[in-house]
Amino acid sequence: MKKILLIILAVTIVGDIFIMVKHKGLIEGLDFGCGQYYYTDIPNWQHYFQGTHYESSVSMFVLVAIFFIWGWLMMKLWQKIG
């Protein structure tokens, strides 16, 4: 088990270094990557996050209700299991 773990870690770190040296995964013209942890860290984040791309037919009230009901249920489950 430990050997497998060490191999995974070694491959990941070597892979990271290779990706960074070769600038893999980046897109020309986009000045960000996984170093931008939160959405507001992304340059010109409004372009990606403030536009309207989808018109929901479900009201905000219903979405909020589902959000809290599901959250409450999961909290109860966690407390029961934990």
Partner 1 sequence: MTKIVNKQENEVSKDIVIAEKFQFSDLIRKEDWLAIWGAFLLILVAATGVVSGLFDFQGAKFNTWGTDENPSVLGAFSGDINIQLIVTFIAFLLLFTIGNKLQHKSAGKFILAFVGLFFLTSVVRVISAQDTFNKYLEYAFWALILGLLIANTVKTPQWLRPALQTEFYIKTGLVLMGAEVLFSNIQKFGLYGLGIAWGVTPIVIIFMWVLGTKVLKIKNNPLVITIAAATSVCGTSAAIATAAASKAHKADLAFAVGTSLIFTVIMMVGMPLFIQAIGLDPLIGGAWIGGTVDSTGAVVLAGQALGDLGGTVAALVKMIQNILIGFIAFGVAIFFTTKVDRTPGQQHVGAGEIWQRFPKFIIGFIVASLVFSFVLQPTLGVDTTGDIIKHLGQFKNWAFALAFTSIGLETNFKELGAQVQGGKPVVLYVVGQLFNIVLTFFVVWLLLSGQIFPIPTIEV
* Binding site residues, partner 1, CB under 8 A: 1-2, 5-6, 8-9, 12-13, 15-16, 19-20, 23-27, 30-42, 45-46, 48-50, 52-58, 60, 63-64, 66-67, 70-71, 74-75, 77-79, 81-82
CB 36, min distance to partner 1, A: 3
CB 19, min distance to partner 1, A: 5
Q: How many Å apart are CA 6 and CA 12, to the nearest integer?
A: 10
CB neighbourhood size of 19 (10 A): 14
